[in-house]
Structure 1
Amino acid sequence: MHKLLLALISLSLVGCIDSKEEILEEKNQGLVYCAEANPVSFNPQVTTTGSTIDIIANQLYDRLISIDPVTAEFKSELATDWKISKDGKSVTFTLRKGVKFHTTSYFTPSREFNADDVIFTFSRLFDVYNPYHFVGDANYPYFQSVGIDQLIRKIVRVSDHQVRFELFNAESSFLANMATDFAV
């Protein structure tokens, strides 16, 4: 019985493929990613749908830090180091040097990643006067739900490769929230 069922499944799967050439043609078309749903945005900061986060966040973006899935400790990504002030109201990130943006046929970056990019990325989340805050009717549901938009007082450029997040109050979950797929 099991052998008959396996044979029928195999025959039905083979029937889906017309030829070896068709397989090769499909492989040469580029990356094929199968998911349970379409992403609702290419910006993980403006959504909470799991399918969007799964499809977009790790494949297209980096974050300052992440959480090691084995040890549950924070680990470096775009930030090589981070220091929390004694009062817990500021966190200074030292940024990785030499990080290049993607070059395409229509875009050639003029510089490498630096503190200005971190400030741009995060200030638009909490600053409603930032000209990019509402682009695409964006809201930032994850950051609003965990209160990050009300926690960050300002972001200061210390140097090209250091940026300091100044908080209204000490918050023990700040680093964990910065390590999520929403904080790309």
Structure 2
Amino acid sequence: MVAQNNRQDGTGSTVDWYSAVFELIDMRSFSNLWYWIALAAVWSQTSRYVLGVPYDMIQRAGRHGGEAEIDLEDMVRINCNRLLYVAGVSGLWIVGFGAMLMTGLAMLGFYYDVEFAQAVFLLGAPMIVVGALSVNSARVIRDTALSGQPLRKFMHRHRIMTQFVGMIAIFVTALWGMYQNMTYGALGQ
């Protein structure tokens, strides 16, 4: 009951805590500034780390060579081996649970019209593409034993592909979010 959730705030006015919380944290995802900040942060971090290696490390290796180049090659080797080990040991389980989760989110979001599920799906689905690109790139790096300039060039190409996926994902999410805001914002829901 609403009366149980109300209390005096010391000034004589009544505070409805549910209204205050839901006003502060808008539960409609696409009209919430925090969702767009999270979307930007996710894609910023995703394009900053290329196979788990900070992009500035790749640039430093290209500028200075020597020890920076050795550090880059070691870091890439460690991250590629780790990624391929995880994919080899539990890849099928990850794919199975990921498919189940994304199918559930897609059904909840687009069939049952749950906006939060739509928002999470639009954050997660492109990450599956980036994950597949990363596993493929790690396999290519390991199988061809890339090092030096070819490794840096390949890592740069991987970053460009990741940024392209992010650009498409942000564009689709923005279009869908504007559609949702115009449709449901006009209805006052």
Q: Which protein is richer in helix relative to its size?
A: 2
Q: Which protein is richer in strand relative to its size?
A: 1
| Interval of TM-score (by shorter of Structure 1 and Structure 2) | under 0.3
TM-score when normalising by structure 1: 0.26
TM-score when normalising by structure 2: 0.26
